[in-house]
Copies of this chain bind each other. A is one copy, B any other.
Amino acid sequence: MAEHEAVLRKFQKELNSGIVSLVLLAILERTTEPLYGYQIAKRIEAALHADADAGTPIKQGTLYPVLRSMEVNGLLTSVVEPSVSGPPRKYYSITESGREVYSLWLQAWTRTRDFVDSTLEGNVG
């Protein structure tokens, strides 16, 4: 199956680029405290605990550009705080605008997921 690895990687990458924003917003939408990048990555890993062998489909390095882009778009806000154990940390919170977008994206995800699943279940042809 080695010859299929490249197309599979491309598929997974496209899939991830569609969901990483949703997963990030979901985490920040329900936390009561601001989180920095590493904490968000850890929460994503924790969500996968029951299925650790499958591996995290979202790599930590892909989180940071998404966090920055969401802040530029007004979905997140951040404060930089000093850290005793290293460089200052950037803590992110969701904005009111981010909550509205999350609610719309959640609907879009549910619709798309159900569409894909109904197609895969053979309600076609």
Contacts and interface: CB of A to CB of B under 8 A. Distances in A.
Interface residues of A, number: 53
Contact of A15 (B19, B47, B106): B19
A108 B27 contact: no
- Determine chain A's interface SS by DSSP, over half rule: helix
A4 B100 contact: yes
Contacts of A114: 51
Contacts of A43: 124-125
Interface of A: 1, 3-4, 7-8, 11-12, 14-19, 21-23, 26-27, 30-31, 43-44, 46-48, 50-51, 54, 57, 73, 75, 97, 100-101, 104-106, 108-109, 111-120, 122-125
